[in-house]
Amino acid sequence: MKRTEKKKGMLVTGGIILLVAVAIVTYIVKSASAIQTEDAVSIEVTDYIDTTGYVVRNENYILSNREGIVAYDVDDGEKISYNGVVGSVFQTEKDALNHKKIRELDAQIENFERLNQTNVNVQIGLDSVNNQLDSRLIQFQEDLNNNSFKSMDTNVSELMYLINQKLILTGKVENFDSEIEELKQEKERLEAETADSLYTITSEYAGYFVSTCDGYENILSYDDIENVTLDDYNNVVTAANVPDSAIGKVIHSLNWYVVCPVTADQAFSLSNGSTNVTIKMPYAFSGDIPAKVIKVNQETEDSDGVVILQCSYMDSDLSKIRSETVQIGLKTYEGIRVSKDALHNDYVTYTYEDESGNTVEEQKLVQGVYVKYGSKLIFKQVSILYAGNDFVICDPSPEEGVLYNGKTVELYDQIVVSGGNLYDGKIID
């Protein structure tokens, strides 16, 4: 009797285990065949070459052998004319600092006076100011994320100006007369306790002024820039001594150059691509810089070399950079993003009428994706423009003849990224 009960118990246990096993297998099979989709979205990707770059400009030192403390009268990146005043020299450091503060007060007074004109300038709208504020805030966040602290002062100054402009437009502030008066009084006080300058320093050149020198101003020849080689680039390791009398320099040509080492494959891409590219310097400047490929220099077609890029955009940050991390943007691809897991090979059908008026169907094996259309799957061919690590970009409007039956993936299609036993026309839950 006990043996029978024990045997029954074993049967029951075995039955439960079998049921659990069946449930697990069923779950696995269903999970494996479950359809998962993602929406087809538009994306833009730029193909970059990651390298380093050495900046070459047409630069000349501004020299002054006379003693005294220099207070600059122009900002870095600011244009100066021939014989224009670069700085004033004072007997004491206090006088020089006061001179600098007076210049800053003049700039603040000018800003507030411009803001007082906001109400009478009918061309300025609140929407425009809000858009500029949004743009500056985004730029400020990007600078923080990219550690581009060189641009911070400029962005903060422009943000404050836009905020004050919004206060005027919304009626929160009537004018800035009291602020202007307070700044003028502070200026008069500083002027009263500041001695006159001993003399002024002028520039022998017209161009962009920079107050700092690094000794690399003439390491590579600006006039012979197109003939720079990879050996020349690799030998730029030690800066020359900056003259003791140098108080700054002038960049007196609109065009400046970036010399970048490249591999043989990268050199081939640059030589055979568009001459118009963009460059990024993520640790020095936020945003894209338009550039032109002037020359790609290699000893042989299979050797590494250098690319010489020409730029013409200049500002305070760019006027001071020398050796930087550089990303060269070769080509931008725009289309529909598709995960590589979604790509499959299947047949598409092309239907046409022959010369006798009969309907003919022909099939061809192509690469494409399965798209959920109601309760059914349909297969669509794709034309790939760009391949990333885990996705591709597909052309939503390929040229005639690229697609076998003229149909491809469209924006917002529900593309199948996982699921078992996929085929065109499959009915799904």
pLDDT tens digits, 305-332:
999 999 998 888 888 899 999 999 988 8
Q: Taking the complete model, does pTM exceed 0.95, yes or no? A: no
Whether 172 maps to a domain, the answer reads: yes
- Whether 88 is covered by a domain: the verdict is yes
Domain assignment present for residue 135? The answer is: yes
- Considering the domain architecture, whether residues 313 and 272 belong to the same structural domain is answered as yes
Domain of 395, in residue numbers? 36-44+336-418
User: How far apart, in whole angstroms, are the C-alpha atoms of residue 119 and residue 168?
Assistant: 7
Q: Is the pLDDT of residue 415 over 80?
A: yes
Percentage of the chain surpassing pLDDT 70? 88
Q: Does residue 153 sit in the same domain as residue 224?
A: no
Residue 365 sits in a domain whose CATH number is 2.40.420
Say whether both 162 and 116 belong to one domain: yes
258-274 mean pLDDT: 93
In a domain, 133, yes or no: yes
pLDDT of residue 306: 97
Cα gap 282→48, rounded to integer Å? 13
Residue 8 lies in a domain: no
- Whether the predicted pLDDT of 23 surpasses 70: no
Model confidence pLDDT, tens digit, residues 144-189: 776 655 556 666 777 777 888 888 878 888 888 889 999 999 999 9
Please indicate, yes or no, whether residues 284 and 377 belong to a single structural domain of this protein: no
Nearest Cα neighbor of 238 from 210, 270, 253, 216 is 216
- Within this chain, do residues 352 and 260 fall inside the same structural domain, yes or no? no
In a domain, 1, yes or no: no
| Residue 26 reports pLDDT greater than 50 | no
Q: 189 and 159, same structural domain?
A: yes
Q: Would 143 be classed as within a structural domain?
A: yes
Residue 302 lies in a domain: yes
β-sheet bridge partners, residue 262: 305
CA distances 105 to 164, 197, 209, 246, Å, are: 17, 18, 21, 27
* One domain, residues 231 and 130: no
Q: What is the mean pLDDT of the chain?
A: 86
Is residue 106 located within the same domain as residue 170? Answer: yes
* 3-class secondary structure, 242: coil
Domain boundary among 332, 360, 391: 332
Q: What is the pLDDT of residues 198-255, one digit of tens each?
A: 999 999 999 999 999 999 998 899 999 999 999 999 998 777 889 999 999 999 888 9
Which pLDDT tens digit goes with each residue over 60-90?
A: 999 998 889 999 999 888 899 999 999 999 9
Residue 27 confidence (pLDDT) above 50: no
Return the pLDDT at 119.
Answer: 61
Same domain, 161 and 188: yes
Please determine, for residue 143, whether its predicted confidence score (pLDDT) is greater than 80: no
CA distances from 243 to 76, 212, 213, 247, 298 (A): 19, 12, 9, 9, 35
- Contact by Cβ (8 Å): 383, 395: yes
| Count of domains observed in the chain | 3
- Give tens-digit pLDDT for 271-315: 988 899 999 998 888 788 999 999 999 999 999 999 999 999 888
pLDDT(3) > 60:
no
Residue 256 φ/ψ, nearest 5 degrees: -135, 165
Res 287: pLDDT: 81
pLDDT tens digits along 111-126: 888 888 876 554 567 7
